[in-house]
Structure 1
Amino acid sequence: MQQPRFALRAFVLCLGAAAFSTAFAAKDEVQVIVGHKANGGGAVRAEVGKGGGRVVDDLSDIDALVVAMPRGAAQALAKHAQVDFVDAPVQRRVLGSRGVRATGSQAQVAPYGIAMVQADQLSDAQAGNRRVCIVDSGINATHEDLAGVPMTGENFTKSGAWNTDENSHGTHVAGTIAALNNSVGVVGVAPSGRLNLHIAKVFDASGSASDAVITRAMLNCGRNGANVISMSLGGAEGSRTEARAVARLAKQGILIIAAAGNDGNNTISYPAGFPEVVSVAAIDSNKVVADFSQFNADVELAAPGVGVLSTVPAFSQTGASLNVGGSGYTVQSMDGSPRASATGSLADFGLGSTATPGSMSGKVCLIQRGTISFADKVLNCQNSGGVGAVIYNNTAGDLFGTLGETVTTIPSAGATQADGATLLGSLGQSATVAVFGLPDLYAAYNGTSMATPHVSAVAALVWSLHPGCTAAQLRASLNKSALDLGAPGRDDYYGNGLVQAKAAHDRINGLGCGN
């Protein structure tokens, strides 16, 4: 198994100017995670104080502290006899993105993944004996398809409360697990309203958090009686802090499940890459691995992760409109675009490869897809004086673009290739592009984030029927009963195959736990 690529192999090398943001420049203060030896916490705290630092978070459950202190003192601390490591924080992000728009309140449907994982073939009448902890962006607890599901939670952000969701990702994950069988919306893997949820909110609207925050949340899951921890999140770098946490939780008998990653390559995402964690790949409705799903030796199970319909908070999704010369066009809002409206004459900005200050002043930029990222195209338009941006596709179909972490101030949207060709004949006409919130309560998302809750909920469902199994035995049963896909036997794309609830239940009935 590939070893985790930890944030700091040699602390002195990683404390360069680029490694940290210094919130307090005068003190050259950095925030680091300090792993110490058992019973060494007191000595390390004293050393932090001597160095002019302070403890930000106590992770004493895993013999670690998050501290803020001057850079030089942090370098010295790394050499202390009671210190095992001093690591820079690494970032984790949600691993799902929007797909096709759904609707507001609607007649109930069963998303394709429910039957695909055989959840519709098992009763969840005993699910009240299990608790799934969702480490994500919170939950819209008053959603029509989630209100009444038994849940507790804790907020590790400065955004809202644990039972609110400013990102929508956590609510979508929760719907796949537990959306109610109540005649509206969708149904989850465990739809009776008996499965207990614990919500550990780690993401605000940005969808990003440090490994220290993720670790705190995981430990909170353990303290609140979780049987399964579901993490639709990840990052490229390993974390010694997270490694300590998952090892501790696994020893407590908790099953930990995480997303394999959305980079579409053979790199490993963490925490999915730790041996104690089940790594989940994404497949589509035809049981074909998604092109974005990471493939490697750690992938263990596969589940539906393309066009997965589930719950979202009202007005968390964005739509867009475009009107040029009195004619309306169907466009898709860019993920990350500000919600705003702008009007100006439509101007051809080519591929948007270069910013030319003043060249697009007061205009709406029409940009062809290709060469550089959507974010760079929009930024170049903005820096050229543009008030709005429309990027048209270079292939058939709608353009669903994302700006990633790039912050822009102008509204931006994606158009089809055919509409782009038409718009090139309307240059100079008045154009209005707008991005706005939608009242939708359901949406289809893509990502290994969407696959992960299918596996987490199936694990809880099967375990509820066989509570005498250990976490390790249940994991083995899920792997041995998975539907083999791709190359015969285990492979890097599908792992052991598509998770199967009924097959796992039958296998345990016939052969016993873990056999």
Structure 2
Amino acid sequence: MNKKWLITWNTVCTLILLLSILIPSTGAFASDRHLSDEYIDIIVRYLDEVPDEEDLDPDFKNVRTMTLMPVQLMTVPASSIKDISQMENVRRVTYDQEMTTTQSGQNEFIYSDDWNQDMIGTFDAWEEGYTGENIRVAVLDTGFYNHEEITYAGGYSIFGEDHTEGPDSWDNDHDGHGTHVSSIIGAHQYTRAQGVAPGVDLFGVKIYHSAEGNRTNASSLMEGLQWAIENDMDIITISSGYPSHSEDIYEMIQQASRNGIMIVAASGNMTENKTEIDFPAAYEEVIAVSSVDQNQHHVEDSMIAEQNELAAPGRSILGLNNQPGDYTTMSGTSQATPHVAGIAALLMQKYPNETAGQIRARMIQKARDLGQDGRDELYGYGLVHFLEEVVPEPEPVEEDEETPEETPDDSLEENGEEPQEPVDEDDSASDETEDLQTPDDVTEEAPDNEEPQEDTDGEDAESDDEDDQVEDSEPDDTEEEEDQAPLQTTVWIRPSDTNGIATIDDDDILAVADSGVLAISFDSTLNHIQNVSLTSDQIDLIRERNITLLIARLDMEWVIPAGNFQAGNAFLSFESLDTPMEYSEVAKSDLIDFSIEQDGEMITAFPEEMAYRFFTDEPELNQDSLYQWNAAQEEWVLSGETYTNGGVVANTASVGTFAVFNPNELASAILSGSEDSEPEDVEDLLPDEETTLEEEDETDSSDTTSSSFGQSDGELPVVLVGAVVILTSVGGGFYFFGGKSKQ
């Protein structure tokens, strides 16, 4: 037996063993590779100039350019997200969220047609001559049927001829939700479902496409808000919500607020899987509305949140349906919200010189305090009402101290109306308490309203029983709508180059939802940057909000869970090594050294695994693997052989130097190195006389295979098979490497 024959035999054995182990692993992850025909909806925020839509990739669909912000909305292949984020003029890329209406039920019965109007002082406003005349109100919803008992001043649909789902006119209410909500505000006076402010100029803005039912993208709200701002609305009402903060939508909300527009939004309906207030109601610029029933009790599925500001009727509310001459009753914070918008319109007409902020302060002052004294999580400041409430003197002082923007007293004094208003409204309130015939007096002037009242005879006596029935049935409807939990929010940003070190803004972190992912993306112009610096405050934000970091370069991605950071500033390093290491000449990638330094101290032990993904030329086809350098043993150790989205992935709770090798090429390099170091005397490689050829072959094969993977004798098969089993159970791939697929 000669030396050449031994080397050949060892190489063949190694190859057979590798193929027997690695081929099953390849099949296990074949389904995890990205499918190029999957499209997702994104929001792209630019630094300044927005590119022309015709200059974008023709594969990008449904591109819409905002006029008030440097933002484009689009539907793109998931594989293009990283490339878009690396464009020099792109500030960040966020995945669009799903937004739904906040209706919790539809009922076949009503208590009486006007109980909700009576509860909030609508008829008192009408007696004073206020119906919301000349107040421009935009309702952002599912569509608006041209029912004969409501008149729209105009409308707009964000779904034009070029939309991927096709055009969808604003007056096509495929769901009925938008028609019902708008009728609570502006249905004709003295009709059965008369609105709170029937004199308003009502505009319907369709942001839900008929193809999607009562679900739409949160970015659709941006388009609706933009239209309302550009068309000088006084009030915007939103009976919809989405689960997580969006910096781009929030900036549009702020723009509307700066333009003096009042925004009213539903706080949402609770389910077992949903216990936090919806956005945009959670923003301080927005009046968040909760729901009460006919007895002024908190509706059990109305969202409980500290941001709640006002409560309004939201249980079994009569309104117009999307059929000729038809009515329906619906429940939810969706129905409570337009009551608040209607009262705001009445007060804006009464006090035409006051700002939206001053009207908001008036509404807080006039609210009927329910539940705990002052503002609480169920009712906010209380039930919305047109009239001033007679309360003991200490209570208005407490409410004034809690007013978020300005005290109601200040706003009243500015207009010189404080001395007169309490006299008129207190008298009206007293009349309302002593004589409940005021609504009837109004309806007697309109014979058309008598018939609907006859339809509801006898129902008041059954209202309590029916109320219980609704409580039992409505949450089930909501739970069906909440079956699919929203995906975690991922925000892609391009970092700033600060003296050769990447830095990010605090706003970039704030743009990410809790438990979301912040992807810091480096394009080819940032190849010289191999470090990211984070301040201690930024680390605190990341830890408090459980934000995962994704360092994304053209050749690799590094995922760091929030739990791996300690308090203090952090310095993340991912440097490509220029100094050769053992067998680096056969590496398929750069040798990249990863490290995390906090407050000047290198961190080496981490509580959670991090993910490393390297991109090379067809790694799965070539059966390449990711290795980590073991400094103690001075050898490359197999770290990962999972293939996802064109890369090879390793998961480990350590940092260090990583590189991609082909196992066969690495084994050959190791054998070549061993050959160079062996003695020239071939007899030294031969076995002892008592050793059989079969035993010698088995030993050589085992030794060669172990050294190829940096393992001790005999351990390789167990370790590799164990890794394949574990990775197969995980399933491969990461949620943050893609977005929500369009179905």
Tell me if both proteins adopt one fold, taking TM over 0.5 as the criterion. Answer: yes
Deviations 1:215-263 (A, max 9, x none): 1011111122210000111121222221121011111110011000011
Determine which of 151, 154, 159 is the counterpart of 1:152. Answer: 154
Deviations 1:314-340 (A, max 9, x none): 2xxxxxxxxxxxxxxxxxxxxxxxxxx
The aligned residue for residue 479 of structure 1 is 364
Query: CA 1:125–1:497 in 2, change beyond 3 Å: closer, same or farther?
Result: closer
Q: Is the 8 A contact 1:477 1:508 kept in 2?
A: no
Task: Tell whether 2:123 aligns with 1:113.
Answer: no
| CA distance in structure 2 between the partners assigned to 1:458 and 1:81 by the alignment | 48
Rounded to whole Å, the distance in 2 between the matches of 1:51 and 1:159 is: 20
Deviations 1:367-400 (A, max 9, x none): xxxxxxxxxxxxxxxxxxxxxxxxxxxxxxxxxx
In the TM superposition, residue 465 of structure 1 has moved relative to its aligned partner by 1.2
Which residue identity is paired with 2:149?
A: D
Tell me, yes or no, if the aligned pair for 2:125 and 2:131 is still in contact at 8 Å.
no
Pairing partner for 1:492 from 377, 381, 385? 377
Matched, 1:188 2:195: yes
* Cα distance in structure 1, aligned partners of 2:78 and 2:58: 10
Matching residue within 250, 272, 289 for 2:257: 250
Q: Does 1:297 align with 2:306?
A: yes
Please state if 1:241 is matched with 2:248.
Answer: yes
Name the counterpart of 2:294. Answer: 285
Q: Measure the CA separation in 2 of the matches of 1:199 and 1:255.
A: 16
- The question of whether the paired residues in 1 share the 8 Å contact of 2:361 and 2:411 is answered with no
2:230 pairs with 1:223: yes
Query: TM-score scaled by structure 2?
Result: 0.45
Contact preservation (8 Å) 2:36, 2:78 = no
Task: Answer whether contact 1:302 1:494 (CA < 8 A) is retained.
Answer: yes
Which of residues 113, 117, 129 in structure 1 aligns to 2:134? 129
1:74 CA drift (Å): 1.8
Cα 1:275/1:145, change in 2 over 3 Å: same
Report the counterpart of residue 215 of structure 2 in structure 1: 208
Based on CA coordinates, which of the two structures has the bigger radius of gyration? 2
The 2-side partners of 1:226 and 1:85 are apart by 30
Matched, 1:469 2:354: yes
Residue identity in the other structure for 1:31: D
- Answer yes or no: is 1:99 the counterpart of 2:109: no
Give distance in 2, aligned partners of 1:69 and 1:164.
Answer: 27
Per the alignment, in what secondary structure is the counterpart of residue 187 of structure 1? coil
Partner of 1:174: 182
> Does the residue aligned with 1:62 lie in a helix, a strand or coil?
coil
Offset at 1:77? Answer: 2.5
| Cα deviations by residue, 1:113-156 (Å, 9 ceiling, x for unpaired) | 11111111113546232111000112122x2321xx24200122
The equivalences for 1:359-370 within 5 A come to none
Aligned counterparts of 1:261 and 1:133: Cα–Cα separation in 2: 20
Are residues 1:89 and 2:96 paired?
A: yes
Q: Distance in 2 between matches of 1:81 and 1:491?
A: 47
Answer yes or no: is 1:49 the counterpart of 2:56.
Answer: yes
Deviation at 1:490, TM superposition (A): 0.3
Give the aligned residue type for 2:156: E
Say which structure, 1 or 2, has more relative contact order (CA 8 Å, 6+ apart).
1
Given the superposition, is the C-alpha separation of residues 155 and 218 from structure 1 closer, same or farther in structure 2, using an over 3 Å criterion?
A: same
Listed one character per residue, the Cα deviations across residues 21-42 of structure 1 (whole Å, up to 9, x for unaligned) are: x9xx5455433111122x3324
Residues 332-351 of structure 1 deviation map (CA, whole Å, 9 limit, x = unaligned):
xxxxxxxxxxxxxxxxxxxx
* 1:84 Cα offset (Å): 2.5
Partners of 1:507 and 1:114 lie apart in 2 by 27
The aligned amino acid for 2:85 is A
Deviation, 1:509, is 9.2
- Distance in 1 separating the partners of 2:109 and 2:83: 55
Letter in 1 for 2:287: V
Unmatched 5+ stretches in structure 1:
1-16, 104-108, 315-438
2:310 matches 1:307: no
Q: CA deviation digits over 1:435-472, x for unaligned, max 9?
A: xxxx8711111100000000011111111111211111
Task: Provide the rounded CA distance (Å) in 2 between the counterparts of 1:512 and 1:454.
Answer: 27
**In the alignment, residue 501 of structure 1 is paired with which amino acid?**
F
CA distance in 2, matches of 1:199, 1:279: 21
SS for the counterpart of 1:463 is helix
- Report percent identity of matched pairs: 26
Which residue number corresponds to residue 735 of structure 2?
Answer: none
SS in 1 for 2:83: helix
Distance, in Å, in 2 between the alignment partners of 1:150 and 1:29 is 36
Give the Å deviation of 1:510: 5.4
Please point out which of 259, 263, 269 is paired with 1:262: 269
Q: Is the 8 A contact 2:141 2:208 kept in 1?
A: yes
Q: Could you tell me how far apart the structure 2 residues matched to 1:82 and 1:162 are? A: 34
1:136, 1:231 within 8 Å by CA — same for their partners in 2?
A: yes
Q: Which piece of structure 1 moves more, 444-453 or 77-86?
A: 77-86
In structure 2, what is the Cα distance between the partners aligned to 1:288 and 1:174? 24
Deviation sequence 1:345-367 (CA, Å, 0-9, x none):
xxxxxxxxxxxxxxxxxxxxxxx
**Distance between the aligned counterparts of 2:114 and 2:93, measured in 1?**
45
The amino acid that maps onto 1:448 is T
2:38 matched to 1:36? no
| Alignment map for 1:315-464 (pairs within 5 Å) | 441-464=326-349
Deviations 1:88-128 (A, max 9, x none): 1101111114432159xxxxx74211111111111354623
Match of 2:83 among 67, 76, 88: 76
TM-score by length of 1: 0.64
Q: Count the aligned residue pairs.
A: 357
Q: Which amino acid aligns with 2:123?
A: D
